[in-house]
A and B are shown apart, each in its own frame.
Chain A
Amino acid sequence: MNLEKVVFGFFVLLAATLNFGFFIGDIDDPAHHNRYELFAAVVVNLIATVLKFGDRTQIGAVHLSTSLVADLQLIGAALMYGYAEYVSTVGMTPGWTASIVSLSGGALLANIVSVVLLVIETVSFHRG
C-alpha cells in the first residue's frame, strides 16, 4: 500500500462527494444548500489540484485539467454566493441559488471525470 496513493485518492474522492453533497437538493431552495459545504468543497478541490501538480504522465495531465475546471466553477459559485449575500440588495433569491448550484453541478461533472480517471488508473495499474 502506497500512502501517497491513499492521500491522493482520499482528496479526489472527498472533493467529489462534498461537491455532490452541496449540489443535491432543490436547485432554487437556499435551505438545501449549505454554505459550509461549498467552502469545504472549494478547499478540498484546491488541495486535490495541488496534489496533482508535477505528474508527467498523460493521465496525470488530464487529472490536473479536470481539477482546474472544477476549481474554476466552484470558485465562480463561491464568488456568486458572496455577491448575493453582501452586494446584492435583495439577498439570496431563488434565482441566485439556482445559478450557484448549477455552477457547482458543472464542477461535479469534472469531479466525476476525475474519479473515473482514478478508477481507470487503478485498474490499469493492476493489469499492467
Chain B
Amino acid sequence: MGNPLLTFWHDAFGREDDERRARRVALRAAAASAAQASETVFLVMRRMRAPLIVLIGIFAVSVLGLTLIPGEDPEGRPWQMGFFDAFYVMSYTATTIGFGEIPYPFTYNQRMWVTISIYLTVIGWAYAIGSLLALLQDRAFRSALALQHFTRKVARLREPFVLVAGYGRAGELLGAGLDALGRRFVVLDLDDERIDALEVGSFHADVPGLAADARDPGHLAVAGLNHPCCEAVVALAADEEANLAVVMAAGLLRPDLPVIARATSRGMVERMRAFGSPSVVDPFDRFGDHLRLALRAPASYQLLTWLESGPGADLPSRATPPRDGRWVVCGYGRLGRELTADLGAEGIPVTIVEPSGDAGVQPVDGAVAGAPAEVGAEDAVGFVAGTDNDTTNLSLVAAARRANPSLFVAARQNRPENAPLFAAMEVDALLVPTEVIAHEVYAQLSTPLLWRFLRELPGRGDAWAAALVDRLTGLCGRQLQALWKVRLTAVEAPALTGWLASGAARLGDLLRNPEDRAEPLHAVVLVVLRGDEALLAPDDDLVLRPGDELLLAGWSAARRALDTTLVVDAVREYVVTGRRVPSSWIWRRLSRPAAAPEETVPTAPTPSRR
C-alpha cells in the first residue's frame, strides 16, 4: 500500500494497527487481495476523471459568462453579476432546481446565455451521474466492495469460528448444525448464488460469506485463516483439487489448526496427508464402514447415525441388513469398490453389476453386465444401487424389487432434489454422500467428547448400544433435542464443590428434577471424561469426581434444570438430599441453629426415596 492518502484513511478509520502487525508476522497473502480491491477503487477514480473535468469545465464557462454579460438593476442602471451570484444561479439551474432570476430579473442577453448554460450543464450532470451509476453497477467494483466488506466482518470476529471452504449441500447442512450449536463460521465458495443463499438463509448469527476461489491463499487469509479466533478449517468443495489446495495452505500457513477435508480417491487422501495431519472424510469409505457396522451391530449403527445427525434429529429406524446370502452391487465406481471390499471382508459373497452394460468398464473378474433381473437378484439377499445417476439408481431399485420383493435395498442419492422420490421408494438404507460428510464433520467439530464417544461406540457391542438407545428413548423420547457438555469444576459447577469432594457423589443423585426430586431429569449422560479415561454411558451409581467432563443428551428443559442445580446451592441441596434449605443468606443464618443438631446424624447423603 504505497499511497499515503490511503494509509491515512486506514489509520483514521480502520483501526487495523494490531491486525496489520499480526498480518506482517503471519503472512502477506492477504495483501494480494487487499491490493486487488484498492486497485479497483483507483480504477473507479481514474474513470471518473473525464466526467468530472467536463463538469468543472462547463460550470466554469457558464459562471464566467454570467459575470461578463452586462445586466441591469430595476432602475435600469447597468449592473454586472458577481461571481457569487453567478455561481449560485448556475448551481441551482444546473441541478434543475430553478429558483428563478436572482437578484434582479435578467436581461435578454443574460437569458440567452443561461439558456445555453442550462443545456450544457444538464448534459454535464447527466454524463457524470451516469458514469458514476455505471461504475456502481460494474462487476469488478461490486466484487471489490464485497471483498472489503467481508474482510472487515471477518477481522471484527471476536469469538471462535470455523472456516468453511466450499458451501455446497454438505456445507449447508454443516452450517445449520454449527449454527444450532451457537458456533460461528465463515464461508468461501466459488459460486455467487451459494453466497446469496447464505444471505437469505435464516441463521442465528451473521455468517460472512465471499464468492471467491478458495484455491487462492489470499482469499483464505481474508476469510480468517490467520485470524487468532479461527479454530478449524473445513474443505468441502466438490472439486478435490480445491480441497487439496485448502489443506495445503492451512498446513503450511497455520500448522496448528485442525483441518477437515473431503476426498473420495485414495491418491488424493495420500496427497492431503502430506501436509500436516488433516482429517480426511471420504463419504464412500464412511458408508462402507457404516454398512459393515450395520451388518454386525444394527443398534450401534442406529445410535451412531442418531447422534451424528445433530440436534433435533428423529431416531432413525433400525435397519437389519441380512448377513447370510449373496449381495448384488450395481455400479462399480468408487462406492462400488468400497462396498465390495467391505462386504468381502465380512465374508459375504458379492456380485458386481455394471448397469451401463459397457463391456469396457469391467474392472474386476466376475463383474457382470446387464439388468438386475438377469444377474440373479431373485436369490440374492441384499442389493445396492450405487451409480452416480439418480434416475438409474431408482430404476435399478424398482427392477430389483420386482424380481425379489424381500430384498434388502440400499441406494445412493446424488442430488438433494430427488429426496422425495427415494423417500417414496422406501429403500432400506439410503446413502446421501453430502449428508454423510456433513454428519461426520459435525461430529468432529461439535465437541471432542462426542467424537470420542462415536469412535469408541462400535467396540461396545450391539446389546450395549441397544440398551442405551432404549434408555435414551425412554427418558427423552424419539427426538434428540440437545447435546451439551458440563465440566464439574469450581467455575462451571460452584454449587457442587463440597459434594464432589465428599467422595459420595452418585451420578443418579445429580440427575433429578429440581422441582420434584422423585422425578428423574430427562437427560442421559453419554460420556464421563476423567483425565484421559472415557467412561461410556455410566449408570447411576458412578461416583463423580471434581474435574469430570460430562456429555449429556436430552431435553433442552433438562439442560436448564441441570444448570440451576450446578450453580444454586439450595437447589443442589434439595436435589441431592431432599432437604429444602433457605436460599437467602439471612434465612440460612436464622435457620442454622435448628438444623445444626440434625445435620450430625446422617453423614452420607440419604438414598433417594422413590
Interchain CA distance A107-B240 in the complex, whole Å: 61
Tell me, yes or no, whether A53 is within 8 Å of chain B by CB.
Answer: yes
Residue of B nearest to A42 (CB): B60
Q: Are A85 and B60 in contact (CB under 8 A)?
A: no
Q: Within the complex, which residue of B2, B45, B56 is in contact with A53, where a contact is CB–CB below 8 Å?
A: B45
Q: Are A54 and B43 in contact (CB under 8 A)?
A: yes
If A39-B64, A54-B47, A56-B2 are given as contacts, then 5 extra A-B residue pairs at C-beta distance below 8 Å, sorted by A number, are A51-B53, A53-B45, A53-B49, A58-B3, A64-B5
Complex interface bits, B48-64 against A, C-beta within 8 A gives 1, otherwise 0? 11001100110110011
Tell me, yes or no, whether A10 is within 8 Å of chain B by CB.
Answer: no
* Contacts of A48-82 to chain B: CB distance below 8 A: 50-51, 53-58, 61-62, 64-65, 78, 81-82
Q: Are B53 and A50 in contact (CB under 8 A)?
A: yes
Q: Within the complex, which residue of A58, A64, A65 is in contact with B2, where a contact is CB–CB below 8 Å?
A: A58
Tell me, yes or no, whether A35 is within 8 Å of chain B by CB.
Answer: yes
Q: Which residues of B contact A39 (CB under 8 A)?
A: 60, 63-64, 67, 83
Residue of A nearest to B2 (CB): A58
Question: What is the size, in residues, of chain B's interface with A at 8 Å between Cβ atoms?
Answer: 25
Q: Are B56 and A47 in contact (CB under 8 A)?
A: yes
Tell me, yes or no, whether B4 is within 8 Å of chain A by CB.
Answer: yes
Within the complex, the shortest CB–CB distance from B121 to chain A, in Å, comes to 14
Question: Which 4 residue pairs of A and B lie closest in terms of their CB atoms, listed nearest first?
Answer: A54-B46, A54-B45, A43-B60, A53-B45
Tell me, yes or no, whether B39 is within 8 Å of chain A by CB.
Answer: yes
Interface of A is mostly: helix
Tell me, yes or no, whether B42 is within 8 Å of chain A by CB.
Answer: yes
Q: Which residues of B contact A55 (CB under 8 A)?
A: 42
Interchain CA distance A78-B86 in the complex, whole Å: 13
Q: Are B4 and A54 in contact (CB under 8 A)?
A: no
Q: Are A56 and B83 in contact (CB under 8 A)?
A: no
Within the complex, the shortest CB–CB distance from A35 to chain B, in Å, comes to 6
Interface of B is mostly: helix
Of the listed residues B57, B67, B83, the one surrounded by the most CB atoms of chain A closer than 10 A to its CB is B83
Of the listed residues A39, A65, A85, the one surrounded by the most CB atoms of chain B closer than 10 A to its CB is A39
Q: Which residues of B contact A40 (CB under 8 A)?
A: 60
Within the complex, the shortest CB–CB distance from A10 to chain B, in Å, comes to 13
Tell me, yes or no, whether B84 is within 8 Å of chain A by CB.
Answer: yes
Interchain CA distance A82-B5 in the complex, whole Å: 31
Q: With A35-B83, A82-B84 given, is the CB distance from A61 to B2 under 8 Å?
A: yes
Q: With A43-B56, A47-B53, A65-B5 given, is the CB distance from A56 to B84 under 8 Å?
A: no
Q: Which residues of A contact B100 (CB under 8 A)?
A: none
Q: Are A82 and B2 in contact (CB under 8 A)?
A: no
Interchain CA distance A36-B60 in the complex, whole Å: 11
Tell me, yes or no, whether B228 is within 8 Å of chain A by CB.
Answer: no
Tell me, yes or no, whether B82 is within 8 Å of chain A by CB.
Answer: yes
Complex interface bits, B1-27 against A, C-beta within 8 A gives 1, otherwise 0? 011110000000000000000000000
Interchain CA distance A53-B41 in the complex, whole Å: 11
Tell me, yes or no, whether A46 is within 8 Å of chain B by CB.
Answer: yes
List 7 contacting pairs A-B, 8 Å CB cutoff, sorted by A: A39-B83, A50-B48, A50-B49, A58-B4, A61-B4, A81-B83, A85-B84
Q: Which residues of A contact B63 (CB under 8 A)?
A: 39
Interchain CA distance A81-B83 in the complex, whole Å: 10
Q: Are A54 and B84 in contact (CB under 8 A)?
A: no
Q: With A43-B60, A54-B42, A54-B46 given, is the CB distance from A61 to B3 under 8 Å?
A: yes
Within the complex, the shortest CB–CB distance from A67 to chain B, in Å, comes to 11
Within the complex, the shortest CB–CB distance from A50 to chain B, in Å, comes to 4
Interchain CA distance A65-B8 in the complex, whole Å: 12
Residue of B nearest to A64 (CB): B5
Q: Are A47 and B5 in contact (CB under 8 A)?
A: no
Residue of A nearest to B7 (CB): A61
Within the complex, the shortest CB–CB distance from A97 to chain B, in Å, comes to 16
Q: Are B5 and A56 in contact (CB under 8 A)?
A: no
Q: Are B39 and A56 in contact (CB under 8 A)?
A: yes
Q: Are A51 and B5 in contact (CB under 8 A)?
A: no
Interchain CA distance A57-B46 in the complex, whole Å: 13
Interchain CA distance A86-B86 in the complex, whole Å: 13
* Contacts of B48-102 to chain A: CB distance below 8 A: 48-49, 52-53, 56-57, 59-60, 63-64, 67, 82-84
Within the complex, the shortest CB–CB distance from B128 to chain A, in Å, comes to 11
Q: Which residues of A contact B84 (CB under 8 A)?
A: 82, 85-86
* Contacts of A70-106 to chain B: CB distance below 8 A: 78, 81-82, 85-86
Interchain CA distance A61-B45 in the complex, whole Å: 13
Q: Are B64 and A50 in contact (CB under 8 A)?
A: no
Q: With A39-B64, A56-B42 given, is the CB distance from A86 to B2 under 8 Å?
A: no
Residue of B nearest to A44 (CB): B60
Q: Which residues of A contact B57 (CB under 8 A)?
A: 43, 47
Q: Are B83 and A46 in contact (CB under 8 A)?
A: no
Q: Which residues of B contact A65 (CB under 8 A)?
A: 4-5
Interchain CA distance A64-B49 in the complex, whole Å: 13
Interchain CA distance A64-B82 in the complex, whole Å: 30
Q: Which residues of A contact B53 (CB under 8 A)?
A: 47, 50-51
Q: Which residues of B contact A56 (CB under 8 A)?
A: 2-3, 39, 42
Residue of B nearest to A38 (CB): B83
Q: Which residues of B contact A81 (CB under 8 A)?
A: 83
Interchain CA distance A43-B59 in the complex, whole Å: 9
Q: Within the complex, which residue of A46, A50, A51, A86 is in contact with B82, where a contact is CB–CB below 8 Å?
A: A86
Of the listed residues B53, B67, B82, the one surrounded by the most CB atoms of chain A closer than 10 A to its CB is B53
Within the complex, the shortest CB–CB distance from B508 to chain A, in Å, comes to 72
Within the complex, the shortest CB–CB distance from A36 to chain B, in Å, comes to 8
Interchain CA distance A53-B57 in the complex, whole Å: 17
* Contacts of A9-55 to chain B: CB distance below 8 A: 35-36, 39-40, 43, 46-47, 50-51, 53-55
Q: Are A61 and B5 in contact (CB under 8 A)?
A: yes
Residue of A nearest to B5 (CB): A61
Residue of A nearest to B63 (CB): A39
Q: Which residues of B contact A36 (CB under 8 A)?
A: 64, 67
Of the listed residues A40, A56, A78, the one surrounded by the most CB atoms of chain B closer than 10 A to its CB is A56
Interchain CA distance A32-B268 in the complex, whole Å: 82
Q: Are A46 and B45 in contact (CB under 8 A)?
A: no
Interchain CA distance A35-B56 in the complex, whole Å: 18
Q: Are B83 and A82 in contact (CB under 8 A)?
A: yes
Within the complex, the shortest CB–CB distance from A124 to chain B, in Å, comes to 16
Interchain CA distance A55-B84 in the complex, whole Å: 33
Q: With A39-B64, A46-B56 given, is the CB distance from A53 to B4 under 8 Å?
A: no
Residue of B nearest to A68 (CB): B5
Residue of B nearest to A82 (CB): B84
Q: Which residues of A contact B43 (CB under 8 A)?
A: 54
